[in-house]
């Protein structure tokens, strides 16, 4: 199983980075001034470390020696996947919170609030699905949502003929606690997506760069941002 990865991105800061000539961008990475563009981390969540992203950015520069430094990343005549790779790093740099979950577990957290079934895990990469889910999520509070997730999980176990007795399966209570905690954090996370200046970066571990998206747009062809 792979993690689906969501990031809330400060859109203004991201726009500044993708509009910057790469010469200026990489100079800021090297002298540390790019950190002025990094939003403050939400205290309930994690995100990738500054030094790790900076290292990935400089590694990208080393691998792409054919770039034109006077142009922005979106103006480069290189492979879409290479453009998307750096643009994803820029978006992650401008992220103030990240939420991850095994894609198989996401059925438990999302399906109960949707009016349709999810056919496969690739649906979790669609911005339209998250928009539908956020719309439904806004109509319920964190506690009620978390309780509905746990009840749905219990019903699914019972339908499969699995026990709900902790004495028979010691994993039940820890798993229940895990679902409760993860769903509460998801509610908090998506409740922060309440501003036009916040964008949702959607991807997955081991996913091709060109298949990541920001508010549904490909990271190599953002158009008007």
User: What integer best gives the mean pLDDT of the chain?
Assistant: 91
With contact defined as beta carbons under 8 Å apart, do 204 and 103 qualify? yes
Band of residue 175 on the pLDDT scale cut at 50, 70, 90: confident
Tell me the CB-side half-sphere exposure of residue 156, using CA atoms within 13 A: 13
In this model, does residue 204 exceed pLDDT 90? yes
**What's the mean pLDDT in 18-27?**
98
User: Which of the residue ranges 33-47, 112-126, 147-161, 177-191 would you say has the lowest mean pLDDT?
Assistant: 147-161
Percent of the chain whose predicted confidence (pLDDT) is above 70: 92
Q: What does the domain layout of the chain look like in residue ranges?
A: 3-218
The alpha carbons of the chain give a radius of gyration, in whole angstroms, of 20
Question: Using CA atoms, how far apart are residues 153 and 218, in angstroms rounded to an integer?
Answer: 34
pLDDT for 174 beyond 80: no
| Per-residue pLDDT, 166 | 65
Check residue 206 and report its DSSP letter: T
The 10s digit of each residue's pLDDT in 79-90 is 999 999 999 999
Rounded-to-integer distance, Cα 104 and Cα 4, Å:
9
Tokens 């961008």 — which residue?
25
pLDDT at 1 (0 to 100)? 63
Q: Please say if the pLDDT value at position 223 is more than 70.
A: no
Pairwise CA distance, residues 166 & 172, whole Å: 6
User: Per residue in 129-168, pLDDT tens?
Assistant: 999 999 999 999 999 999 888 888 878 777 777 766 666 6
Closest C-alpha among 205, 202, 204 to residue 215: 202
- Distance of alpha carbon 45 from alpha carbon 49, whole angstroms: 12
Token digits for 93? 């740099």
Place of tokens 């969540």: 45
pLDDT of residue 31: 97
pLDDT value for 163: 65
C-beta atoms surrounding 199 within 10 Å: 26
Q: Can you give the pTM of this predicted structure?
A: 0.90
Residue 169 has pLDDT above 80, yes or no: no
Provide the pLDDT for residue 112: 85
**What pLDDT is attached to residue 153?**
81
pLDDT computed for residue 150 by the predictor: 87
């Amino acid at each position: 199983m792979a993690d689906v990865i969501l990031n809330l991105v400060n859109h203004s800061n991201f726009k500044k980075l993708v509009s910057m000539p790469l010469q200026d961008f990489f100079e800021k990475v090297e002298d540390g001034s790019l950190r002025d563009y990094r939003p403050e981390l939400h205290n309930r969540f994690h995100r990738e470390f500054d030094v790790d992203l900076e290292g990935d950015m400089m590694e990208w520069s080393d691998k792409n020696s054919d770039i034109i430094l006077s142009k922005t990343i979106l103006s480069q005549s290189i492979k879409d996947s290479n453009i998307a790779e750096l643009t994803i790093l820029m978006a992650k740099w401008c992220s103030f919170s990240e939420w991850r979950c095994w894609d198989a577990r996401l059925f438990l957290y999302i399906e109960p609030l949707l009016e349709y079934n999810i056919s496969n895990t690739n649906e979790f990469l669609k911005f339209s699905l998250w928009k539908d889910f956020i719309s439904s999520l806004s109509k319920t509070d964190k506690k009620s949502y978390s309780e509905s997730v746990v009840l749905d999980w219990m019903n699914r176990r019972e339908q499969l003929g699995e026990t709900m007795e902790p004495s028979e399966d010691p994993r039940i209570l820890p798993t229940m606690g895990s679902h409760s905690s993860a769903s509460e954090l998801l509610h908090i996370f998506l409740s922060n997506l309440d501003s036009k200046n916040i964008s949702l970066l959607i991807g997955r571990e081991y996913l091709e760069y060109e298949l990541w998206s920001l508010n549904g747009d490909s990271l190599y062809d953002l158009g008007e941002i």
